[in-house]
Amino acid sequence: MTTPSATPQVIYVTQPHLPPLEDFIPYLQQIWANKILTNGGPFHQQLEKELCDYLGVKHISLFANGTLALVTALQALRITGEVITTPYSFVATAHALLWNGIKPVFVDIDPDTFNLDPTKIEAAITPHTTAILPVHCYGHPCDVAAIQRIADIYNLKVIYDAAHAFGVQDAGGSILRHGDLSVLSFHATKVFNTFEGGAIVSPDAKTKQRIDHLKNFGFVDEVTVVAPGINGKMSEINAAFGLLQLKHIDAAIDARRRIDARYREALQHVPGIRCLPDAGEKVGNYAYFPILVEPDYPLSRDALYERLKEHGIYARRYFYPLISDFPMYRGLPSAARSNLPVAAAMADKVLCLPIYPALQPSDQQRVIDLVRGA
């Protein structure tokens, strides 16, 4: 068992990948020289293009953050009424619905992938349902084929919250090609970050154009406003940082892959600790490392969380509480725990361990020793 040192080094659940500071200076000099700070400037345009190439998609619109991108994606497709979504996500997923005056309808998740369970979707569809908003939780792909089948039968739109799924591919290519739209987050805590940032992946140029209008107050030109759009634009400084990040992204994901493999190897025989199975992605991004703390582990999940904290290790209970347990949602009929037994059980067991490119093997070993030695 590891004993805490006098001043234990703090280890967070994640840490942003920061390229050398001096490498960012030329980008700043360029911004200072051309004095274009925002509103679709040259770095913004270049990042959209480079992300399309890197991710293997045709159309991307950059945003100031993932939440504004979600809110705008719903507006772009004119979604109203009720939308089926998962309770097992970051609260922004459902908040984006409320910001549009849409009623979330929570459906339970699959215990192996933590994603929306397609076999439970149909029972939640009503005459008011217009769309499904699934999340590729932890970057693991949803059952996109089953979800699309249901959407086609009931004429529903599908918007994927792909905040965790940067770079993830299934057998056919980018996971972001599925559904009507996919939404990314480039927040500091994400695999690819622009400090704050986000994006919408669209299937065609017309949809991208509508989204680009909506993120710029609805302006089409100096004198024409076609919709009550919001200010969702990414600034030049964020876009420039994204371009620099992109140069390092493969190495960063490789480092995550090694950390993921070490955890799996070290924790596979620990009684009461279960790692999330590989969810069938062809290329993963190792965004999170969730473990399930089962009843045969000597400590409860919360006791393990506290124990790690005492040793300066800040694991996180993503996603506890469930979104459906927050006050603005818990009155909904679909929010009842009896409707969401799998999600409720997972939220009570899950703990996300630290994973980020700069996590040193010796620090990861501290985490492993504590989980093993409880």
The SS3 call for residue 352 is strand
How far is residue 150's CA from residue 314's CA, in Å, rounded to a whole number?
40
Q: How far apart are CA 181 and CA 358, in angstroms?
A: 32
CB 198 within 8 A of CB 186: yes
What is the closest distance, in whole angstroms, from the C-beta atom of residue 247 to ligand T4K in the complex?
A: 20
| Closest residue to ligand T4K, based on beta-carbon distance | 66
* CB 162 to ligand T4K: min, Å: 8
- C-alpha to C-alpha distance for 330 and 337, rounded to whole angstroms: 9
**311 or 316, CB closer to ligand T4K?**
316
Collapsing DSSP states into helix, strand and coil, what is residue 174? strand
* CB of 372 vs ligand T4K, minimal distance in Å: 23
Task: Tell me how far CA of residue 145 lies from CA of 141, 164, 179, 252, 372, in angstroms.
Answer: 11, 19, 10, 30, 38
Q: How far is the CB of 161 from ligand T4K (least distance, A)?
A: 5
Whole-number minimum distance, CB 193 to ligand T4K, in Å? 8
In whole angstroms, what is the distance from residue 81 CA to residue 128 CA?
Answer: 5
**Binding interface with ligand T4K (CB under 6 A):** 12-16, 65-67, 89-90, 92-93, 135, 161, 163-164, 185, 187-189, 198, 314, 316, 318
Nearer to ligand T4K, 76 or 135 (CB): 135
Q: Which is nearer to ligand T4K, 297 or 352 (CB)?
A: 352
Please tell me whether residue 134 adopts helix, strand or coil conformation.
Answer: coil
- Residue 297 or 366: the one with the smaller Cβ distance to ligand T4K is 366
271, 286, 291, 350 from 294: Cα distances, Å: 8, 22, 9, 9
Nearer to ligand T4K, 297 or 370 (CB): 370
